[in-house]
Amino acid sequence: MSATASPMPVAGAETPALPAKSSSFYTAMRLLPKERREAMYAVYAFCRSVDDVADDGGAAEIRAAELDRWRADIDALYAGRPAARVQDLVVPISRYGLLREDFQAVIDGMAMDAFEDIVAPDEATLDLYCDRVASAVGRLSVRIFGMPEDLGVRLAYHEGRALQLTNILRDIDEDAERGRLYLPREKLARIGLTDPTPHAAVMHPRIGEVCLAVAAEAQEHYRQTWAIIARSPRSVTKAPRLMAAAYRLYLDAVLARGWTPPRARVKPGKLALLAVAFRHGIV
């Protein structure tokens, strides 16, 4: 699938594996106190495990059955009968009030990718996808961070979408190679593309117009993200600040590169990433 909003390397299904030390996720989580950091790693391991089912879980019927087992495990967890593979979520759920529907939304988001490739979804479907694979993770995260409920939910809404749209723009060529196209149908239609194949869409001479329109939406979500962060206690926003700043570097990089093929994959420079980590890791 197009990468979820946190850069999540592979973790085992049974126990939380630490992210790569070079990832912005790892850096952001290191800013948290130990109990909150361990809670985030437990949520991360759940998301990674479900994502692995959607992407690499075998035949469709096997993936469907395994996602159903994850749904049942979450229901049993909230009923006080946690399976071994969700045992690490017991304390975070109790301590931080994590909601069952957010875990289920993550599973539903992975299922959107699991059974058929997403190709040119309509705007509403794309927004639902972003909510499930990114903002739902954000809603779990902001409760762990300790943000006030109203501000936290709004931050998850905007930052999740900002990060996921950035991922989509960064990964358009890689997704097309896998037969996937997350750019919205309505925007593609404006450049004369109806029912396009992923390859035809990303190689279209006017694809930049579509990407710029999606980037403008991402930029507005970043603007809203920073406005909410500015109204929030600084002590609970270090991790979301670092993630927003790091991902904005990726958006700026793809905008600076442009959309004329062949497109090199972008990666912000180490100094820029270090500057983000320094600024948001110590302030």
pLDDT digits (tens, 9 = 90+) for 211-234: 999 999 999 999 999 999 999 998
CB 228 within 8 A of CB 156: no
- Quick: pLDDT tens for 239-251: 999 999 999 999 9
Q: Determine the Cα–Cα distance for residues 278 and 283; give it in Å rounded to an integer.
A: 8
CATH superfamily of this structure's domain 24-282: Farnesyl Diphosphate Synthase (1.10.600.10)
- pTM for the full model? 0.90
- Give the lowest-confidence range in 65-69, 128-132, 190-194, 235-239: 235-239
Transcribe 194-224 into DSSP letters.
Answer: SS--HHHHHTSTTHHHHHHHHHHHHHHHHHH
- Quick: pLDDT tens for 100-141: 999 999 999 999 988 888 999 999 999 999 999 999 999 999
Mean pLDDT of the chain: 89
What is the model's pLDDT at position 31? Answer: 78
Domain locations along the chain: 24-282
From the list 50, 40, 33, 35, the residue with the least C-alpha distance to 19 is: 40
Model confidence at 6: pLDDT above 60: no
Confidence of residue 205 (pLDDT cuts 50, 70, 90): very high
- Quick: pLDDT tens for 149-169: 999 999 999 999 999 999 999
Structure tokens at 211: 């990407």
CB 256 within 8 A of CB 204: no
Model confidence at 42: pLDDT above 50: yes
Residue type, 208: G
Q: Determine the Cα–Cα distance for residues 149 and 138; give it in Å rounded to an integer.
A: 12
What is the model's pLDDT at position 24? Answer: 63
CB 45 within 8 A of CB 14: no
Confidence of residue 13 (pLDDT cuts 50, 70, 90): very low
